[in-house]
Structure 1
Amino acid sequence: MKEKKMDTRNITYFMAVFEHLHFTKAAELLGISQPTLSQQIRLLEAEVGMPLFDRIGKKVVATEAGRLLHQYGMKMLQAEMDAKNAIKELLSEKRGTVRLGVLPSDLDFQLVPLFVEFKTLYPETRLQAFSTIFVREEVLAHKVDLGIGLCGPSDKRLVQIPLGSEPYELFVHSASELAKRREITLEEMTQHALVMYPKGYLGRDLVDGVCREQGFELTTVMEVGSASSLLQLVAAGIGATIQPRDLLKQHPEWSDIVSIPISEPAPVRHLELTYYADRFISKAQQQLSEWLIDFFKSRTV
């Protein structure tokens, strides 16, 4: 008897159930009926010879076999997508989509001029830039093609290109008593009003971590979730903020804000460009990667 082979359609059905752990919701998103989806999952389970999900009442839980299929199913779907993209590029090297994951608030704003330049060169290529604190996870899950995030441990599944380091500095209004300081310590900032990102944002957590190592904690008078809002608050005299040094360089319109270096030990973020090692890289993605590397190199000169 001829052995039946898995096809990517059934894998797609399985992945939808795995992601949502809910057959009805997955069926709605797939545009098929719930009984049809359940039947396809049963056929897939018959193929692998093991249950892929445990159904406990209304709760759906992936089995160990299900988790393994998810791991390799992602590779199957990505391989199919890579093949299609490679063939499409033979028809036109300037079509397709490039998905970029980038740390939120300050970096995504700084990169807008580069995005404009990219769109000029590749007018038919759709560029999607996503703000996320889970850059590496998004790359590994094939949700984005390229990622710019904090440096992490070496991972053989990824290409990891260092983009340099960037120290944090104190931004204050030019009329502040601190504006003429050439340097300041983190601990001194406990005596001044601060506006910061909320706890849980990478930048805030990085600053808080350095403070904890020195045995103190910063307090804030206001917390907002965007870099532009923080700069507006500083310009209004509400308080000072601790942000990556180059953020202010990208906003020359804030001429009434000055930046003061923080003495050691100071918060520093180390950035890297990441993408999946074993996947198709289009010419547009390659061009964007090169531009991103050049952009960050220029900031360290």
Structure 2
Amino acid sequence: MEIRHLHYFMAVCEELHFTKAAEKLGISQPTLSQQIRILENELGMPLFDRIGKKIVVTEAGSLLFSYATEMLNTLQNVKDAIKDLQELQGGQISVGIMPSDLDYRITQLVIDFHEKFPKVKLKILASIDIMRQVLENEVDIGIGTNVEADDRLVMIPLCREEYVLVVSKEHALAKQTAITIAELKELPMVMYPEGFLGREVVEDAVKTHGFQLHTILETSSVTSIMNLVRENIGVTVQPYPLIQQMNDPNLCSIRILNGAPSRSLSIIYRIDRYVSQATTAFIEQLKEYFTG
């Protein structure tokens, strides 16, 4: 069995169409079909059921797909490890992070890391689905929020952050230092849309007190949220360190009593993924940045 056969097999599994898989691989369809037949002959079992123009992965094919995924991941890890030895402090790191944290939280961290490791290329991607990105190898590591334990992941806790009420300096509550969570019930809110983690964390907290947020405007952009709050259109509930980092004199933060929403931040990466020297250094800097 040759590695190229596994690559051909995986492409057909992903496309479930020989012609499309062949185009993706840059080979002809007859050549791809021939190589799959060679692999099937070697294993002694069909890997695909061909039903007219459609194909379906057989039980043997599903088994091979599982092992082939591990084998190709291991091979990529070997290549990455050897490349890491060759380049030492070189290479590339891709990181998934929540959009709001990307916009306001980690700029200085990226600057500091670049000064220490100028040969390392950082690729920072905003995402609201970081766990999926990590599991599907779209990013090397992620900074996840309220991540549940998963056998496929290494999880390194960073910190726990409390949410606060954020109002314009012109708002009637601007001079208050604290508010009970029950008092949020009637306040007109500017929030992320439903389904966004930053919204769900707050909704889950107020739900335990028997109410839902009174949301008058929704936007997926934290910058838009803050602009609307600054103009006193409504108020919002956001992590306190995020508001601290903004350091905006036109915004006031008010502590929430009796069960403030909170989030836990963690570094996550696949347990079977090779962690380069550069990635290890970035993880250490993340830990220092968020916990220091």
TM (norm. structure 1) is: 0.86
Alignment-mate amino acid for residue 27 of structure 1: A
Match of 2:270 among 248, 270, 276: 276
Q: CA RMSD in A?
A: 2.3
In the alignment, structure 1 residue 76 sits paired with structure 2 residue 71: yes
Which residue does 1:250 correspond to in 2?
A: 245
Cα offset for 1:14?
2.7
Moved more, 280-289 or 206-215: 206-215
Cα offset for 1:249?
1.3
Alignment-mate amino acid for residue 290 of structure 2: F
Q: Provide the C-alpha distance between the structure 2 equivalents of 1:125 and 1:186, rounded to a whole number of angstroms.
A: 45
Which residue does 1:199 correspond to in 2?
A: 194
SS of alignment partner, residue 184 of structure 1: strand
SS of alignment partner, residue 179 of structure 2: coil
Which residue does 2:258 correspond to in 1?
A: 264
In the alignment, structure 1 residue 186 sits paired with structure 2 residue 197: no
Q: Provide the C-alpha distance between the structure 2 equivalents of 1:28 and 1:257, rounded to a whole number of angstroms.
A: 54
Q: Provide the C-alpha distance between the structure 2 equivalents of 1:55 and 1:287, rounded to a whole number of angstroms.
A: 49
Structure-to-structure mapping, 1:33-112, within 5 angstroms: 33-56=28-51, 58-102=53-97, 104-109=98-103, 110-112=105-107
CA contact (8 A) 1:8 1:76 kept: no
Which residue does 1:294 correspond to in 2?
A: 288
Q: Provide the C-alpha distance between the structure 2 equivalents of 1:120 and 1:222, rounded to a whole number of angstroms.
A: 41
Instruction: List gaps (5 residues or longer) in structure 1.
Output: none
Match of 1:135 among 124, 130, 133: 130
TM (norm. structure 2) is: 0.89
Cα offset for 1:16?
2.9
Q: Provide the C-alpha distance between the structure 1 equivalents of 2:211 and 2:57, rounded to a whole number of angstroms.
A: 44
Q: Assess, with a 3 A threshold, how the Cα gap between structure 1 residues 240 and 80 changes in structure 2: closer, same or farther.
A: same
CA contact (8 A) 1:196 1:224 kept: yes
Cα offset for 1:54?
4.2
Q: Provide the C-alpha distance between the structure 2 equivalents of 1:52 and 1:112, rounded to a whole number of angstroms.
A: 49
Q: Provide the C-alpha distance between the structure 1 equivalents of 2:152 and 2:95, rounded to a whole number of angstroms.
A: 18
Cα offset for 1:265?
1.9
Q: Provide the C-alpha distance between the structure 2 equivalents of 1:68 and 1:179, rounded to a whole number of angstroms.
A: 61
Instruction: List gaps (5 residues or longer) in structure 2.
Output: none
1:136-179 Cα deviation digits (max 9, x unpaired): 33323333221211243433443211111111111100110111
1:43-89 Cα deviation digits (max 9, x unpaired): 33334444444455555444444333333222212211221122222
Question: How many equivalent pairs are there?
Answer: 291
In the alignment, structure 1 residue 231 sits paired with structure 2 residue 226: yes
Cα offset for 1:31?
2.4
